[in-house]
Structure 1
Amino acid sequence: MSAARNSPVSEGSRRYDVVIAGGGPVGLLLACELGLRGIPTLVLERLPPGRDEPRALALHPRTQQILDRRGLLDDFRAAQERAGGWAFFRRHIDNSAPRGHFAGIWRLGRAESVEALPAGLFVQREDIKAILAGRAAGLGVTIRHGAEVTGVRQTADEVVAEVRDDSGESVVRARYLVGCDGGRSTVRGAVGIAFPGTEPTSVSRMALATVPQDADLPTGWVRTATGWFMRMPDGRIAATEWDVPEDLSTPPTLEEFNASVQRVTGSRTALTDPKFVSRFTDATRQAERYRAGRVFLAGDAAHIHFPAGGQGVNLGLQDAVNLGWKLAARCAGHAPDALLDTYYTERAPVAARVLHNTRAQSALMRPGQDTDALRDLFSDLMEIPEVNSRLSALIYGNDIRCPVPGAAHPMAGAFVPDTALATADGPVRLAERLRSGRPLLLDLGDGAQDAAHPWRDRVDLVPATSPDLDVRALLIRPDGYALWASDRPDALAAGRDDEGLRTVLTEWFGAPLDD
Structure 2
Amino acid sequence: MRTHHPHSHVVIAGAGPVGLWLAAELRLGGARVTVLEARPEPSPHSKALTVHPRTLEVLAFRGAVEPFLAEGLRIPDGHYGALDQRLDFSVLDTPYPFTLALPQVRTEALLEERARAAGADIRRGHRLTGLAEHASGVRVDAVGPDGAYAVEAAYVVGCDGTRSTVRAAADIAFPGTDATTWGWLGDVVLDRPPARPALSASTPQGGVMCVRMPGGVHRFVGNVPEGQRADWPGEFTFDELRATVLRVVGDDFGMRDPRWLSRFGNATRQAATYRKGRVLLAGDAAHMHFPAGGVGLNVGVQDATNLGWKLAAVLRGAAPDALLDTYHSERHPVGAELLTSTRAQTALMTAYSGEGRALREVLGTAVATVPAFSRRLADGLSGLGVAYTTAYTDTYETGDGGGGHPLTGRRAPNLRLGPDVRLFDLLHAGRPVLLDFAGHADGPSADVIVHQGPPDGDRRDWDGVGSALIRPDGHVGWVREAA
TM-score bucket (shorter structure):
0.7 to 0.9
For 1:293, the equivalent position in structure 2 comes to: 277
Relative distance call for 1:372 and 1:126 in structure 2 (3 A) is same
SS at match of 1:360: helix
Q: Distance in 2 between matches of 1:452 and 1:26?
A: 35
Relative distance call for 1:231 and 1:206 in structure 2 (3 A) is same
Structure 2 gaps, min length 5: 392-399
Q: Distance in 2 between matches of 1:172 and 1:274?
A: 42
Report deviation, 1:435.
Answer: 0.6
Q: Distance in 1 between matches of 2:39 and 2:338?
A: 28
Bigger Cα Rg: 1
For 1:385, the equivalent position in structure 2 comes to: 371
Normalising by the residue count of structure 1, what TM-score does the alignment of the two structures yield? Answer: 0.81
* Pairing of 1:145-164 with structure 2 (within 5 A): 145-164=124-143
Among residues 417, 431, 441, which one is paired with 1:438 in the alignment?
431
Over aligned residues, Cα RMSD in angstroms? 2.8
Is residue 27–residue 180 contact of structure 1 (8 Å, CA) maintained in 2? yes
2:345 is aligned with 1:354: no
Normalising by the residue count of structure 2, what TM-score does the alignment of the two structures yield? Answer: 0.86
* Pairing of 1:108-257 with structure 2 (within 5 A): 108-110=87-89, 113-209=92-188, 220-234=199-213, 235-243=218-226, 253=235, 255=237
Relative distance call for 1:433 and 1:306 in structure 2 (3 A) is same
- Provide the aligned length of Structure 1 versus Structure 2: 452
SS at match of 1:14: coil
Structure 1 gaps, min length 5: 1-9, 90-97, 490-515
Relative distance call for 1:54 and 1:393 in structure 2 (3 A) is closer
Partner AA of 1:161 in structure 2: V
2:86 is aligned with 1:102: no
Partner AA of 1:289 in structure 2: T
Report deviation, 1:39.
Answer: 0.8
Among residues 466, 475, 478, which one is paired with 2:472 in the alignment?
478
Report deviation, 1:431.
Answer: 0.7
Partner AA of 1:413 in structure 2: G
Among residues 295, 301, 306, which one is paired with 2:290 in the alignment?
306
For 1:43, the equivalent position in structure 2 comes to: 35
**Which shows bigger deviation, 262-271 or 326-335?**
262-271
2:329 is aligned with 1:345: yes
Q: Distance in 2 between matches of 1:401 and 1:184?
A: 29
2:365 is aligned with 1:374: no
Relative distance call for 1:271 and 1:116 in structure 2 (3 A) is closer
Q: Distance in 2 between matches of 1:388 and 1:379?
A: 9
Among residues 460, 467, 477, which one is paired with 2:449 in the alignment?
460
**Which shows bigger deviation, 388-397 or 61-70?**
388-397
2:9 is aligned with 1:21: no
SS at match of 2:102: strand
Q: Distance in 2 between matches of 1:207 and 1:119?
A: 23
For 2:394, the equivalent position in structure 1 comes to: none
**Which shows bigger deviation, 300-309 or 263-272?**
263-272
For 1:410, the equivalent position in structure 2 comes to: 406
SS at match of 1:413: coil
Is residue 236–residue 262 contact of structure 2 (8 Å, CA) maintained in 1? no
Q: Distance in 1 between matches of 2:432 and 2:48?
A: 32
Relative distance call for 1:175 and 1:13 in structure 2 (3 A) is closer
For 1:400, the equivalent position in structure 2 comes to: 386
**1:267-315 Cα shifts (integer Å, max 9, x gaps):** 9989876533322111111111111111100001000111111111111
